[in-house]
Every structure is written in structure tokens, then in C-alpha cells.
Amino acid sequence: MKGGHVRETHAPAGAPWRLAAARRWDAGEWLDLEVVRRRLVSADPRRAHNSILFRQPLTTLDDLLVRGLRIEVLAELVEGFEPRGAPEDDDAVLDPADLVFGRPILQPPAFRDFYAFERHVRTMWERRGGEIPEAWYRLPIFYISNTSELRGPGEPVWAPRGSQELDFELEVGAIVDTPAVDLAEEHAEAVIGGYFVLNDWSARDLQRDETTVRLGPAKGKDFAASIGPWIVTPDELADARVEGSTGPDLAMSASVQDAAGSVTAISRGTWASAQHSFGAMLARASADVHLRAGEIVGSGTVGGGCLLEVKDETLGRWLAPGDVVRLSIERLGVLESPVIERPGR
């Protein structure tokens, strides 16, 4: 199942996000899950007595997780949906051309971003004149990132104050949808409710100064991250798993469109090239720590998935206002973000 938060393109300002899911994987129709829920309860009132999913209105994914439900339960609504007439006459059916997608999780309680792809890590260390530390191969390394400045699909991003070197980072994101602590690596991926495209923006000039202090990322990272356009549940990716790999063999790519409309392909990689699996990452993250439903985790940048690595042979510059960054992960969709001038406060 793939699902997320939507509202109509011309909805009034401040209109609430609604939970929706694709009717079929390749279908051009999405379902308003609250309309479907009410319809199913009306057809069989016993559902509300037998299942918490049907007992209360569906509002957001955040609310669903607070109620102790997992993302996979929404598949029951998709499977139980019965059309009423033509799609354009059915109030449960939504036309994706008339929808705006929001952040797939609106207010995650925490965000840990890892460093799982060897090519990217090697490039970062070589630029400092060093080699990858031996510990990186043993330990999934992460930092705690900001949850207050998350952006959804189409929401603008700008370089933070004092920066002239804005960069993107192409990553896989995952959402934890059940509380957990001290997970074993071989079982840890069971707490993942879905995956999404993640852009962990970087201000490279700020980051370059800050990392000389050896404490970790600060304002060079602490200004924006983009997620979306929706969540895809793990069962939809199972057939792309390759025995012995750390993740599904799914293509990851990035491109930048400039203000004149010219598109430059930046990078192409695969999720399966990660050194550390999400199981290993979550085992590390949950060691002596309680993970909460709704927390998100990033894989780190796929090899070649940022301008820092490939700027000179591709775009030839850092990002600038007027650019549109497009990050794509096979089956997870395309996350598009416009770059703008830093707004006046």
C-alpha cells in the first residue's frame, strides 16, 4: 500500500490534511480513507465494535499512530472499498491531478539520520585527506536531526543565513510505527511501517567550518529536510530484495532543473548498495533507547547522491534560487523541491 496526507489543489488556506491511499499500485485514483471508513461502518456497524480502526474518525497518520495502530491496518480500508458508480461520481475517489501531497508524517517525534553508503562516506573522508575509520564498518553511525523544519513535496527550501553552498542529499527514509527498545538487528525492520524519499539538505560551507570542531553536524544541517511524497509499506518492496543485500535493489536518482528549464542529471545509485541495513540502523538506534511510533530514520546519502561528490562533472555549481531538485527512488516516488531566496524575517 502507498498512502499519505492530501488536500485539494484549490482547498482554502489552512484546510486540514486527509489520509489517502492509492486504490491500486498503478492506478490513477486515490481513496479518501475516512470516507471509506464511514461507508464500511454504515454497511456493517459491528465493525466499530470489533475494531479500533473503525471506532473513531481517521484524521492524520500521526493520530493513527498515537492510537496504537500500525500503518498496515489501513490496507483493510483499501481492500474493503467498493466503488459507487463512476469514479468522478464517487466521493471516496480522489483524482491525483487535483491533489497536493503533504509530509507523509506531519510531526515526527524524532529524526535520526545515518551514514550507510560507503561511496559517499569515502568521498567525504578523502576530501579531508583521510580514510574511512574502521569503526564505520562496524557501527551504523547517525546524528540527531531537526524535526521542526521538515518540508513536504513542493515546499520551498533556501540556504540558511551566511551560506552560499546549498546542497541536496538523496536518501531513503523510514518511519517507525510501533514502540520498541533494544531491538535485535535480525528483527529490527519489523518495526518499520513504511518508506519514503528523503532529502537531507546541507549547507556545505557552514558544515565545513563546523566539522573542524569534531562535535557533529550543526547549522550546516539544522535548517531543513524534505520528505515525501507518500509512504510505501514494506510488503510492496519485498520482491525487490536480493539475497545477501542490505536493502531492495531499487534505483535512486537525482536531477536539478534550473530557472531556464534546463534539466541536469546528477546521480544514479541503488538502495542495495548500502553497507548497513535498516535493521542494523534501528538496532543501533534502539540500544538502551525507547523508539516511539512516528519517529523517522534516514539512510544517509547514496553514493554520488549530492553535489559535494559530483558537482564539478555535473551541475558545475551549488544550488541557487530558481532551481528545482527532483529526487526519485523506484517505487517510492519523486520528491520535488524548489529552491528560493532566503525569506526576510
Instruction: List, for residues 87-104, the tens digit of each pLDDT value.
Output: 889 999 999 999 999 999
Residue ending a domain, choose from 76, 101, 126? 101
Contact present, 49 and 61 (Cβ < 8 Å): no
Count of domains observed in the chain: 2
C-alpha–C-alpha distance, residues 92 and 185, integer Å: 40
Q: Would 75 be classed as within a structural domain?
A: yes
3-state secondary structure of 5: strand
Structure confidence at residue 7 (pLDDT) = 95
Q: What share of the chain is helix, strand, coil (3-state, %, to 5)?
A: 30, 30, 45
- The mean per-residue pLDDT over the stretch 109-129 comes to 91
The model carries a pTM of 0.96
Give the model's confidence band at 216: pLDDT under 50 very low, under 70 low, under 90 confident, else very high: confident
Q: Are residues 21 and 130 part of one domain?
A: no
Task: Please report, for residues 134, 186, 285, the alpha-carbon distance to residue 139 in angstroms, rounded to integers and kept in the order given.
Answer: 9, 15, 11
Q: Are residues 297 and 243 part of one domain?
A: yes
C-alpha–C-alpha distance, residues 166 and 179, integer Å: 35
Structure confidence at residue 345 (pLDDT) = 65
Give the model's confidence band at 83: pLDDT under 50 very low, under 70 low, under 90 confident, else very high: very high
Single-letter code of the amino acid located at 263: V
Structure confidence at residue 27 (pLDDT) = 65
Q: Are residues 242 and 174 part of one domain?
A: yes
Q: Are residues 56 and 35 part of one domain?
A: yes
Q: What is the pLDDT of residues 322-341, one digit of tens each?
A: 999 999 999 999 999 999 99
Q: Are residues 269 and 144 part of one domain?
A: yes
Structure confidence at residue 266 (pLDDT) = 97
3-state secondary structure of 155: coil
Q: How far is CA 271 from the centre of its chain?
A: 14
- The mean per-residue pLDDT over the stretch 151-159 comes to 98
Is the confidence at residue 71, as pLDDT, over 70? Answer: yes
Residue ending a domain, choose from 48, 83, 101? 101
Q: Are residues 136 and 93 part of one domain?
A: no
- The mean per-residue pLDDT over the stretch 291-315 comes to 97
Q: What is the pLDDT of residues 258-299, one digit of tens each?
A: 999 999 999 999 999 999 999 999 999 999 999 999 999 999
Structure confidence at residue 287 (pLDDT) = 98
Q: Are residues 279 and 133 part of one domain?
A: yes
Residue ending a domain, choose from 48, 72, 101? 101
C-alpha–C-alpha distance, residues 165 and 306, integer Å: 12
**What domain range is 266 assigned to?**
111-338
- The mean per-residue pLDDT over the stretch 193-206 comes to 97
Q: Are residues 122 and 91 part of one domain?
A: no
Structure confidence at residue 72 (pLDDT) = 97
Structure confidence at residue 24 (pLDDT) = 79
- The mean per-residue pLDDT over the stretch 25-46 comes to 92
C-alpha–C-alpha distance, residues 275 and 268, integer Å: 17
Q: Would 186 be classed as within a structural domain?
A: yes
Q: Are residues 307 and 158 part of one domain?
A: yes
Average per-residue pLDDT in the chain?
95
Q: What is the pLDDT of residues 124-150, one digit of tens each?
A: 888 878 899 999 999 999 999 999 999
Q: Are residues 137 and 95 part of one domain?
A: no
Q: Would 345 be classed as within a structural domain?
A: no
Structure confidence at residue 326 (pLDDT) = 98
Q: Would 343 be classed as within a structural domain?
A: no
Q: Are residues 214 and 293 part of one domain?
A: yes
